[in-house]
A and B are shown apart, each in its own frame.
Chain A
Amino acid sequence: MSDALHLLSATEIAQRLHAGTLTSRALVEALLIRYRNLNSKVGAFTYLSESDVIAQAEASDERRKQGKTLSSLDGIPVAIKDNIAVKGQPLTCSSKMLAKLISPYDAHVIEALRAAGAIIYGRLNMDEFAMGSSTENSALQKTYNPWDLARIPGGSSGGSAAALAAGFVPLALGSDTGGSIRQPASHCGVVGLKPTYGLISRYGLVAFASSLDQIGPMARSIDDCELLLNALASPDARDMTCFDQGQRTLLPPVAVNQLRIGIPRGILDKGVGQEVAAATRAAIDFYRAQGATIVEVDLPSSDLAVPTYYVVATAEASSNLARYDGVRYGHRSSQATTPVEMMTLSRSEGFGPEVKRRILLGTFVLSAGYADAYYVRALRARSKILSEHLAALEKVDMILTPTVPTPAFKAGEKISDPLQLYLEDIFTIPANLAGLPALSVPCGKSQHLPVGFHLVGAPLSEKKLLAASRVFEASHPYRHQQAPL
């Protein structure tokens, strides 16, 4: 064993556990040492119970000893974004509002991971209620990019991406409403998948914008990402938007020389950093060299995606976050004298500025007299974006763009300029609006910072996206490149 355990992929760990050359307990102990040494620098985890994860590891080792191993994930740690409910653990959404909330139930994905024997490994920092692109909106702590600790890891699943890049865990769960898995994955040099809307149950995912939110797998390799995806994607009667068994058959992969890849016309011309554009062109050239057909596609309504998103997402958020009022759980103001005052003050004190900004925006766009001009028009734009994407995906297997126009910026650089920050998600948002699967794959560097490319496919084309990126990964082994911590 020449390599350090913290750099192993989940697939490699599974092989060693199976071969008996590694125990889950030894793995977890090695990871805990790294966590103790480095989490204070990176700030990925907001909560981790060492005794709990060791107990889970021992239970896994015991199952293996008895020949009762549950799946290839058995004994492998998966870290959880702090907006996914784990029974008995904090569910803070990195908000002061829920800072003291302990979840009384498990999310569907957590039940699925437990059934697979995975170790539920700690809580990961995020932008408050998943609103943000830098994890700087966390009310709990800052998270830094393991590739450059002066920079942000992206967001809102910044803790998830940073934990993977720092070698704290091999697998993590994120959630993605406008790019919250893919943008931090790109900034931290890891793989992040936002599945087709409906593939993974949202039961237990704290809602930001219900029609856009999806839980997704994050990992350091394509194989690991797929391994985790397979464990998460199952029917769940508790989420009416989750596909039934008969609706969830994934499209088969396509050989790279049969692949048709669409590039939106002029995509690299506006606002894309030079080195990001160069890395994206290199990826396109790679696929062309492998025999894939590269075609330009037109998505004329793409310019509408960001404004449409900020109307739809904030409208839903204004309603979803209404329940945090201090009455039943969460932060309760001690200043109030009446029930209504208690609700008002608890919300004023409990929410951070970005969350308040989005609640106000969403309340406005749904208000009588304005809903038609904003919310209803945004729904029309959304269906146009969907139909344009579906039309383009009739002609090509997937659409390739950069994941983010520019690499990770310095902490504090954009915190006072929300509009600039909103453009971080310009390439990732359309997949949420259209409910399509999308994947960010590490594809190079901009100076010392990782850069990813982004694939969007037709509904249920996850295997196609993963297979296409696996070909790229095989020739570009970034997965073993360690962040310089």
Chain B
Amino acid sequence: MSESPWEIVIGLEVHVQLRTRTKVFASAPWGFGEEPNEQVDPVVLGLPGTLPVVNRVAVEQAILFGLVVEATIPERCAWDRKNYFYPDNPKNYQLTQKDFPVTLGGQVEIELPGPSRNVMGEHKMIRLHHAHLEEDVGKLSHSGSGSLVDYNRAGVPLLEIVTEPDLRSAAEAAAFLNALVTMLTQAGVADCDMEKGQLRCDANVSVRRRGDTQLGTRTETKNLNSISGVRDCIQYEAARQIRELEEGRKITQETRGWNAVNARGYVLRDKEDAHDYRYFPDPDIPTLKIARATVERLQKLVPERPFHRQRRYMEKLGLPYTVTSVLIADKALADWFEAAAAAYPQNPSGIANWVANDLLRDLSAATSAPDAFSEPSVAKVSLVDCRIKPAQLAGLVKITDEGVISKQQAKEVFAEMFRTGQDAGEIVNAKGLRQNSDAGELEKIIQEVIADPAVAKSIAEYRAGNEKAINALKGPIMKRTQGKANPAMIDQLLRKHLG
């Protein structure tokens, strides 16, 4: 397949509802699924005489995000009014940060899909332009006889994260959103539940001939509310623009909408109809100084970045890529793994395998459906209710490594641990699973088995050079020890006796 002569250039504006108890400028609570107009107060409704008060938690969440993406946190930030009339907008202006946003710059590391699930894909840094705080608006809906408006969402704190035009494909845009969601959720900044509209995205798309240094005319598609929608919309829009240009037409700078049902974009308004938002500094909210002490305090809350963690697991702990990509997707799971590995540092790989495979499988089976935004492989599961504690899993791996139980027995013990929360040792004792490693006792049994004429043929074959023939002797030994014999030890002793 030859490379396309066209290069696609994408910038995203991602609107994320921050995790706060109350709204960004009012003390009204917010959440999903309440009756219409329940989560309002005089400030949210913009009643005459009410004033906004900045929610410090929202500002701190925004700063924490900035620290997570290694952005610059400026000395001060300020709010502006964006003026436009629409019934879902209680004041007919939206408070936003036009000139002095809460974070500047920053970057998000993304991983592109590799050649297979087991091979790491290419990594790329996507630069951020800035992120600013603003208020969400209500929701207008049209019924047969009229229009209804619900202001529950009005005033919910939004962080608008604006990228540089660094993305080059729909797949990169999707990878960026996945990485962003992971960072936002792992830092506790936002829940990013796209089904609840907690993350929405505008995509700026342009195309140019490969090698051109000037950007082409861009279009902006508004209000994409799923990662697959972003991917489909970019593919559609890039193809549309390429077709227009190839057929000798020009791209019009315009604002577009996306119909996810028939997977087609449409024009909302062109440049001539662009709003004049008449921005000016909000006189009700003084410029906010961001104390360095606040930044330092929040810096301590920044979790290890997922890809940093992955590299550390691969390089320092020698874990394979596949296992690490499962672990880093869920901070709680990775933290759990690290607690277990700390309790038994001799075999992190063994522990990681248990966590990424058996533990995750059993937890998934035991918990409800995975979150809508996540890929199935990174389904978030609740470790809170997990009965096995990290040190207990470490104990299981340790006794397996020490040969106290076999790997097969370990699976049985794990299942019991998962069910009861007992220590591996307790289960081994209670079930009498302890492996027999008593050399004297085993040698006595081996001598008895060898002496049995029934196995004489196998012994002869083994001595004639048929390695596999030795296995026929192991079954009777296991039978006599009720399966508790240490397999490695049997093998060793058998070879010694058979010379």
Chain A residues packing against B (C-beta within 8 Å): 83-85, 91, 93, 98, 101, 103-105, 107, 202-207, 209-211, 237-241, 315-316, 318-319, 322-325, 327-329, 338-340, 343, 363, 366-368, 371, 375
Question: Which residue of the partner chain B has the closest CB to A85?
Answer: B49
Distance between Cα atoms of A105 and B43 in the complex (Å)? 11
Instruction: Report chain A residues within 8 Å CB of B85.
Output: 322, 325, 340, 343
Distance between Cα atoms of A319 and B280 in the complex (Å)? 9
B81 in contact (CB, < 8 A): yes
**Smallest beta-carbon distance A135→chain B, Å:** 19
Question: Which residue of the partner chain B has the closest CB to A337?
Answer: B146
Tell whether, in the assembled complex, residue B92 and residue A205 are in contact, meaning their CB atoms are under 8 Å apart. no
A93 and B280 in contact, given A319-B93, A327-B87, A340-B85 (Cβ under 8 angstroms): no
Distance between Cα atoms of A371 and B93 in the complex (Å)? 17
Q: Mark B271-284, 1 if CB is under 8 A from A, else 0.
A: 00000101110011
Instruction: Report chain B residues within 8 Å CB of A366.
Output: 83, 278-280
**Smallest beta-carbon distance A304→chain B, Å:** 19
Closest 9 CB pairs of A and B: A322-B92, A211-B283, A366-B278, A210-B283, A206-B48, A204-B49, A323-B46, A323-B91, A85-B49
**Smallest beta-carbon distance B157→chain A, Å:** 16
Instruction: Report chain A residues within 8 Å CB of B140.
Output: 339
B51 in contact (CB, < 8 A): yes
Tell whether, in the assembled complex, residue A316 and residue B283 are in contact, meaning their CB atoms are under 8 Å apart. yes
Tell whether, in the assembled complex, residue A104 and residue B47 are in contact, meaning their CB atoms are under 8 Å apart. yes
Tell whether, in the assembled complex, residue A322 and residue B83 are in contact, meaning their CB atoms are under 8 Å apart. yes
Instruction: Report chain A residues within 8 Å CB of B81.
Output: 319
Chain B residues packing against A (C-beta within 8 Å): 42, 45-54, 81, 83, 85-87, 90-93, 140, 147, 149, 151, 276, 278-280, 283-286
Tell whether, in the assembled complex, residue B52 and residue A240 are in contact, meaning their CB atoms are under 8 Å apart. yes
Tell whether, in the assembled complex, residue B92 and residue A237 are in contact, meaning their CB atoms are under 8 Å apart. no
Distance between Cα atoms of A375 and B278 in the complex (Å)? 10
Tell whether, in the assembled complex, residue B276 and residue A240 are in contact, meaning their CB atoms are under 8 Å apart. no
Instruction: Report chain A residues within 8 Å CB of B149.
Output: 327
25 contacts between A and B (CB under 8 A): A83-B48, A91-B48, A101-B48, A107-B49, A206-B48, A207-B48, A209-B283, A210-B284, A239-B53, A239-B284, A240-B51, A240-B285, A319-B278, A322-B85, A322-B92, A323-B48, A323-B91, A325-B85, A328-B47, A328-B151, A339-B87, A339-B140, A366-B278, A366-B279, A366-B280
Distance between Cα atoms of A315 and B284 in the complex (Å)? 14
Distance between Cα atoms of A205 and B286 in the complex (Å)? 18
Tell whether, in the assembled complex, residue B51 and residue A239 are in contact, meaning their CB atoms are under 8 Å apart. yes
Task: Determine which residue in B50, B140, B286 has the highest number of CB atoms from chain A within 10 A of its CB, and name it.
Answer: B50
Tell whether, in the assembled complex, residue A240 and residue B284 are in contact, meaning their CB atoms are under 8 Å apart. yes
**Smallest beta-carbon distance B238→chain A, Å:** 30
Instruction: Report chain B residues within 8 Å CB of A211.
Output: 283
Tell whether, in the assembled complex, residue B90 and residue A323 are in contact, meaning their CB atoms are under 8 Å apart. yes
Distance between Cα atoms of A366 and B276 in the complex (Å)? 9
Distance between Cα atoms of A334 and B167 in the complex (Å)? 50
Distance between Cα atoms of A211 and B284 in the complex (Å)? 7
A237 and B47 in contact, given A325-B85, A339-B87, A363-B278 (Cβ under 8 angstroms): no
Instruction: Report chain B residues within 8 Å CB of A83.
Output: 48-49
Distance between Cα atoms of A83 and B49 in the complex (Å)? 8
**Smallest beta-carbon distance B406→chain A, Å:** 66
Tell whether, in the assembled complex, residue B92 and residue A339 are in contact, meaning their CB atoms are under 8 Å apart. no
Given contacts A105-B47, A327-B87, list 8 more A-B pairs with CB under 8 A: A83-B48, A103-B48, A103-B49, A323-B92, A328-B45, A328-B47, A328-B90, A339-B147
Partner among B47, B87, B276, B280 whose Cβ is within 8 Å of the Cβ of A329: B47
Question: Which residue of the partner chain B has the closest CB to A213?
Answer: B283
A202 and B280 in contact, given A241-B286, A323-B91 (Cβ under 8 angstroms): no
Instruction: Report chain A residues within 8 Å CB of B276.
Output: 367-368
**Smallest beta-carbon distance B80→chain A, Å:** 10
Task: Determine which residue in A85, A98, A103, A322 has the highest number of CB atoms from chain B within 10 A of its CB, and name it.
Answer: A322
Tell whether, in the assembled complex, residue A241 and residue B284 are in contact, meaning their CB atoms are under 8 Å apart. yes
Distance between Cα atoms of A73 and B83 in the complex (Å)? 42
**Smallest beta-carbon distance B153→chain A, Å:** 15
Distance between Cα atoms of A240 and B85 in the complex (Å)? 25
Tell whether, in the assembled complex, residue B51 and residue A238 are in contact, meaning their CB atoms are under 8 Å apart. yes
Tell whether, in the assembled complex, residue A85 and residue B48 are in contact, meaning their CB atoms are under 8 Å apart. yes
A322 and B283 in contact, given A240-B51, A240-B52 (Cβ under 8 angstroms): no
Distance between Cα atoms of A211 and B48 in the complex (Å)? 16
Question: Which residue of the partner chain B has the closest CB to A97?
Answer: B48
Instruction: Report chain B residues within 8 Å CB of A343.
Output: 85, 87
Partner among B54, B92, B278 whose Cβ is within 8 Å of the Cβ of A371: B278
Question: Which residue of the partner chain B has the closest CB to A203?
Answer: B51
